Amino acid sequence: MTLLEAQKLTLRVLKQVMEEKLDHHNVQLAQARTYSLLSQIFITNFITGHTAERVWDIRRSTAEGNY
């Protein structure tokens, strides 16, 4: 998926779920030059409802090799 395709998909999904009209007043987009893939443990914990703080603790531990 290209960056442009991802941006279009993001806006298309937002348009479907937002109650208000989609415009530059109520939407922001950002892009990063680098990225890192999240671990399966991180994703599983995020999906199963762990708090954001706990999920980021797990990610940090994974990156440090402690998990």
41, 61 Cβ separation under 8 angstroms:
no
Q: Region of 50 please: left (phi>0), alpha (psi -120 to 50) or beta.
A: beta
Helix pair angle (52-63, 40-47), 10° resolution:
170
Q: What is the pLDDT of residue 42?
A: 75
Condensed to tens digits (0 to 9), the pLDDT of residues 17-61 reads: 988 888 888 888 888 888 778 788 877 877 787 655 665 666 666
Q: What is the pLDDT of residue 67?
A: 44
Q: What is the pLDDT of residue 13?
A: 92
